[in-house]
Amino acid sequence: VPSGAAAAGPASATARPERRDPLAFDPDDHTTLTATVVTGDGEKTVTYRFHRAVPYVAEPVDLTHQTLNVSVPVAVDGKPVGAGRAPILLSNAVGGYLPSSTAGATGISTNRPNPPLALAAGCVVVEPGARGRTLVDADGTHHGVAPAAVVDLKAAVRYLRHNEGRIPGNTDRIVATGVGAGGALTALLGATGDSPRYEPHLRALGAADASDAVFAAAPYCPITDLEHADMAYEWNWGGNPLPGGAQADQALSRELRARFAEYQASLRLSGGNGFGRLTARNYDTYLVRTHLEPSATRYLTALADDERERYLAANPWIHWTGGRASFTWADFLAHVGARKKNVPSFDALDLSTPENNLFGHGTTGARHFTLWSLRRATGDNRARLDADLHDTLDLMNPMPSLARGNPHRARHWFIRVGTKDTDTSLTVVGNLAAALEHLGDDVDASMYWDGGHGVNLDAPDFIDWIDRVCR
Ligand code: DHB
C-alpha cells in the first residue's frame, strides 16, 4: 500500500472540513409544502420547497433574527414551474423598526398578499428576519438599534448573490419589498446598493463578500427621512386635530413647519411635467395634482355608478367632471381628519417614540436625533448631536444616497402609500418619487385613496409589475 494513499484515507475521513463555505446554501434541506393562493385569476394550489431559518451571515450575533426562509415554487395547479431564473421577491416583515423573525414560520407568510401571490406567479420568495430596536444584550447593550436592520437585510441580499446557482432564482432580479419601517428599509436597499459606508458593519457579521445591490424596490408607506420627518409632518398635518379633537401645540408646529421650507429647498427637487422646483409653498398643489386627484379619480372610476354617486354626495368637496376628481388641499386635509401623532412626531421631547429608541446607542436606549428636539428638550444649546449620529442617520436615510446619484441603486421602483396615512408626511413619498424621477429611474408611484397606514390595495398589479420589469 503506497504510504501516501494509506495516510490520505483515514485523514480525509476525519478531517474537519476547514474549507467548507459556511455561507453555502443547502438545496436539499427543505420540506415540500402546498399553499392555496387566491390570485387575480382564481384560486391556485402551489407546491413549493420551503427552506427554513437559514443563517445568512457567517458570524451571527442573533440567530433568532439573522436567518431567512426561502420558498421555491415547483408546481402550480399540478403543472411544474421552473423557478431557476425566476425573479426573487425579498419581502421583509419589519414593522415599527422592531426585531423581526421568520425563523419559527411553518411556511411562506400569508398575512400579507405579496409573498403568496409572487410564489403563485412563479417567483422565488425570500423572507429574511432582521434585528430591531428593542433588542438588548445581557450586559445592557442595545444591539438592534440603527443601523442593525438595514445591515442585516443587506447581508441577506449578499447571501443570495453568494449562493447564485444554489438558490433557485435570478440574483440579478432581486425585488425588495416591505411596509412601514420595512418600507423604509426597502427604500434603503434600493437606494444604497453596494455603498461602501455599510462595509464595516457587514464585515463584522461575516456577511458574504458579494454585491448587495437590488434590481427593484417596492416600498409601501416608508417611514423614512426620519431626521426631517418632524418638519414635514407639521407642514402636512400640522393644522389637523389630534385623535381626541384637541390641537397639537401650534407654536411648536409653526416653528417646525417653517423649517420644512428650508429643508425642501435644500433638496432641489422638481415636480416633473413642467411643475418646476418643489417648495414648501407649492408642495400642496404638487400633491393634489400629481398624486391625490389621480388617486381619487382611479378610486371613483372603479366604483359602480350608484356607489360613486353615494360617495360624491357624502363628499361634496370633490368635484367630479369629465370623469376626473378635483378638490383643494384644505378640503382634502379636513377629509383626512385627525393626525395620528403629536408634535414633534418622531424626535419626541420626552424620548418616547420608536425612532428615539431606533437611534439609541450602546447602553443608551433612546436618544434625540435632531438638534431641534435636543435643544428644546434639554435647554442645552449644544452645537451638535452625538458624534456617531451623523453617520448613522446617513445609513438610515435613502435621500442622501439618491442625492449622490448612487450608480448601484435600483432602477425600478414601485411606491405606494394611502392618502389617509398620517403616520408620516405625504411629502416623504413625494420626495422619494421626485428624487428617483430626477435621476431618470423607472418609478411607478401612486396613492391609495382613503387608504390608511400599511394598506396594500393592488397586489395583483404589483405582481404584474414584477413580471414586466424583470423580463
Ligand atoms: C411604522 C409606523 C410608524 O408610525 C413609525 O413611526 C415607525 C414605523 C411602521 O409601520 O413600521
- Is residue 41 within 8 A of residue 77, CB to CB? The reply is no
**Residue nearest to ligand 1 atom 5, measured at CA:** 96
- In the structure grid, which three cell numbers stand for residue 33, read together? 409544502
Question: End-to-end distance of the chain based on CA atoms, in angstroms?
Answer: 59
Q: Could you give the residue ranges of the DSSP H alpha helices within 178-228?
A: 181-191, 199-204
Q: Is the pLDDT of residue 12 over 80?
A: no
Euclidean distance between CA atoms 271 and 290, whole angstroms: 8
In the reported structure, the alpha carbon of residue 223 is separated from the centroid of ligand 1 by a whole-number distance in angstroms of 6
In the reported structure, the alpha carbon of residue 78 is separated from the centroid of ligand 1 by a whole-number distance in angstroms of 40
- In the structure grid, which three cell numbers stand for residue 352, read together? 418616547
**Residue nearest to ligand 1 atom 8, measured at CA:** 96
In the reported structure, the alpha carbon of residue 423 is separated from the centroid of ligand 1 by a whole-number distance in angstroms of 7
Query: Does any ligand 1 atom lie closer than 6 A to the CB of residue 132?
Result: no
pLDDT one-digit tens code per residue, 327-365: 999 999 999 999 999 999 999 999 999 999 999 999 999
In the reported structure, the alpha carbon of residue 467 is separated from the centroid of ligand 1 by a whole-number distance in angstroms of 29
pLDDT one-digit tens code per residue, 149-166: 999 999 999 999 999 999
Euclidean distance between CA atoms 246 and 250, whole angstroms: 11
Atom of ligand 1 nearest to the CA of 98: 11
pLDDT category at 241 given cuts 50, 70, 90 is very high
DSSP state of 458: -
pLDDT one-digit tens code per residue, 23-65: 999 999 999 999 999 998 899 999 999 999 999 999 999 999 9
**pTM, full prediction:** 0.95
**pLDDT at residue number 17:** 52
Residues sharing a CB contact under 8 Å with residue 283, sequence separation 6 or more, in sequence order? 235, 264, 427, 430
Q: For a substitution probing ligand 1, which of 223, 345, 353 has the most ligand atoms within 8 Å of its CB?
A: 223
Euclidean distance between CA atoms 57 and 39, whole angstroms: 34
Query: Does any ligand 1 atom lie closer than 6 A to the CB of residue 452?
Result: no
Helix (H, G, I), strand (E, B) or coil at 192: coil
Which of 248, 263, 258, 452 is CA-nearest to residue 345? 248
Query: Does any ligand 1 atom lie closer than 6 A to the CB of residue 87?
Result: no
Helix (H, G, I), strand (E, B) or coil at 116: helix
ipTM over 0.90: yes
Whole-number mean pLDDT of the chain? 95
